[in-house]
Chains A and B, each alone.
Chain A
Amino acid sequence: MRRLLLALALVAAPVLADSDLPPAPLADTQLPDPKQEAQAQALMETIRCLVCQGQSIADSNAELAGDMRAMVRQRIAAGEKPAAIRAWLVRRYGSWVTYDPPLDRVTWVLWAAPILFLTVGLFVARSSFRRRRA
């Protein structure tokens, strides 16, 4: 019984934290122009949800994610470039909010690491081949 109550409480808690307003008009409605919708969709898949932090706003059911999708679609429909919308969000929430991190002082290691490891590997291979020959 206790376990059942606990399980019910776990299920019920998120419901309490939701408003009773319907989703924003463009949260779950595609844009009429398929090219714009594709742009919006591609952007939404690389923007992190602020509530369910691990999901993109395209995947998340959180209300704030719905409002973020609506914002993205509105701006795309108004002719704004996806890069500008991403920059607008990064300005507010930091690079944390994008799944396509910009190359900067902190993230350069991500791009440099493969080259670094390849170089180290080449040196290791070369020295071990040389030893065998000797």
Chain B
Amino acid sequence: MTGYAKWAPLVAFILLGSALTYGLAKPDTTNISSKMVGASVPSFTLPPALPGLPGLSSSDLATGQPHLLNIFASWCVPCAVEAPQLKAIAQAGVPVVGIAIRDRPDALGRFLARNGNAFGAIGADDASQVQMAMGSSGVPESFVIDGKGRILSQVIGPINPQDVAGLVAAVRAAR
């Protein structure tokens, strides 16, 4: 062990130490992105989540028209925060459909009365089965779906006001 070689262990230690420190210090991303992006919507049929609004099935998403599919719940606080943005997206002419996770019709009705209803249809997913089939891991999440029923992109977490224009453009471009 002569010359530079004797410093090799120290250099290795410092490199390892900095790599581990970096790993500990960097903010952990806990988002799990769906691997279904790029694939077709898995086949499903969900009953209406509340009376007066149709339920949702995968065939409704392959009618030639692109959709924004929003996975939400009345018990989810960020879902109430994103409601005005969904409304704005629907008012821009984008069909917005929903899947309500583990929800009750009365609670959902109150949620929509309070926060506004952007949905043309809401399916009731009482045991999160369709949510899992879509590769979604929480609420709210949104998927851009093209006219053939293919999943183009996923938004994890609430849609913020600055995201509205981009999402409207993305759904329009999916035609």
Contact = CB atoms under 8 A, between A and B. Distances in A.
A66 to B, nearest CB: 9
A92 B41 CA distance: 11
A71 B127 CA distance: 9
B-side interface mostly = loop
Given A16-B77, A17-B76, A20-B75, A67 B127 contact: yes
Interface string B14-44: 0000000000000000101111100000000
Query: How many of chain B's residues touch chain A, expressed as a range?
Result: 20 to 34
Contacts of A53: 30, 32
Contacts of B33: 94
A90 to B, nearest CB: 8
B82 interface: no
4 closest residue pairs by CB, A with B: A92-B135, A19-B102, A50-B137, A67-B128
B137 to A, nearest CB: 4
A63 B137 CA distance: 11
Given A16-B75, A17-B75, A19-B73, 14 more contacts: A17-B77, A19-B101, A20-B107, A51-B137, A63-B128, A67-B102, A67-B131, A70-B127, A71-B129, A91-B36, A92-B34, A93-B34, A94-B35, A97-B32
Contacts of A108: none
10 contacts: A16-B75, A18-B75, A19-B101, A24-B126, A64-B131, A67-B127, A67-B132, A70-B127, A93-B34, A93-B137
Contacts of B132: 67-68, 71, 89, 92
Contacts of B134: 92
A92 B128 contact: no
Contacts of A70: 127
Contacts of B75: 16-20
Interface string B118-151: 0000000011110111110110000000000000
